[in-house]
């Protein structure tokens, strides 16, 4: 018996539906942000064999959330019925915090995490600059004060550092520019 098939989606519809589904996949460690807010998905395309190809760029080499994120993205795409797919890790070009979207930055600030400043291009030849010497200090996400100090350059996840606001006295996390 022949079952009526749903009209096949055009490639552009399939890609658009994939982006939409990915917009609901949260980062497991910063769940107020989606993987798209963080700029982790570099490309979604349909290859010559009709396979949906997704290229994903991890934040840090050792980020323990990477595999959880890939599993969650696959589940979201499968739930949306988007057909055969392949997810690939892409290390180059390296992920940078400059890829965090304006919406992502706003959501970070709303969650009390200072969004990252612009990442300086890194060519490996810059002289060693000690952390104690003031870099561009992030503004306090609580009172917007700009007089802040580093408590620890390493935080609860690989992508964050700890600061303290010298205006309101509150400690806060910041997203490290990378």
Partner 1 sequence: MSTPGRPEGEGTPVHATVQQAPLRPGTAPALQYVLRLGDTCLIHAQRLAEWCGRAPVLEEDIALANIALDLLGQARVLLSHAAVLDGQGHDEDALAFWRDEHDFRNLTLVELPRGDFADAVVRNLLLSTWLKAIWAGLKASADATLAGLAHKAIKEAAYHQRHAADWAVRLGRGTAESAARLAAALQRAWPYTAEMFTADAVDDAAQQAGLGPRGCDLLPAWLDEIAAVIDDAGTAMPVLGAFRSTGRLGRHSEHLGRLLCEMQHLPRSHPGAVW
Q: How far is the CB of 89 from partner 1 (least distance, A)?
A: 5
Question: CB-wise, 65 or 165, nearer to partner 1?
Answer: 65
CA distances from residue 68 to 15, 42, 63, 75 in whole angstroms, order as listed? 22, 18, 10, 11
Which of these segments, 5-13, 43-51, 53-61, 163-171, binds partner 1 (CB under 8 A)?
53-61
Any contact of residue 127 with partner 1 (CB under 8 A)?
Answer: yes
Q: Which of 42, 74, 142, 164 binds partner 1 (CB under 8 A)?
A: 74
11: nearest Cα among 57, 51, 39, 41: 51
Build a one-symbol-per-residue string for 139-158: x at contacts with partner 1 by CB under 8 A, - elsewhere.
------------xxxxxx-x
Pairing mode of beta strands 148-152, 52-56: unpaired
In this chain, which of 83, 162, 164, 167 binds partner 1, going by CB under 8 A?
A: 162
Give 23 or 171: the residue with its C-beta nearer to partner 1. 171
For residue 146, give every residue at least 6 positions away whose Cβ sits within 8 Å of its Cβ, in sequence order, or none.
Answer: 137, 139, 140, 167
Stretch that binds partner 1, among 2-10, 14-22, 62-70, 110-118 (CB under 8 A): 62-70
Residue 56 makes CB contacts below 8 A (sequence gap 6+) with 35, 40, 41, 42, 69, 70, 73, 87, 88, 89, 90
Please tell me whether residue 42 binds partner 1 under the rule CB under 8 A: no
């Amino acid at each position: 018996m022949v079952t009526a098939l749903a009209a096949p989606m055009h490639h552009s519809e399939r890609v658009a539906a994939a982006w939409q589904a990915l917009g609901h996949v949260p980062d497991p460690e910063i769940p107020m942000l989606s993987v798209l807010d963080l700029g982790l998905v570099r490309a979604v395309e349909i290859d010559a064999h009709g396979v949906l190809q997704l290229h994903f760029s991890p934040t840090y080499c050792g980020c323990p959330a990477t595999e959880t994120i890939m599993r969650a993205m696959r589940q979201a795409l499968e739930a949306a019925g988007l057909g055969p797919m392949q997810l690939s890790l892409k290390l180059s070009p390296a992920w940078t915090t400059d890829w965090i979207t304006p919406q992502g930055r706003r959501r970070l600030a709303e969650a009390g995490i200072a969004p990252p400043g612009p990442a300086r291009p890194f060519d490996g030849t810059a002289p060693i600059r000690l952390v104690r010497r003031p870099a561009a200090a992030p503004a306090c996400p609580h009172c917007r004060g700009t007089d802040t100090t580093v408590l620890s350059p390493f935080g609860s996840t690989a992508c964050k550092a700890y600061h303290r606001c010298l205006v309101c006295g509150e400690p806060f996390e910041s997203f490290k520019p990378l």
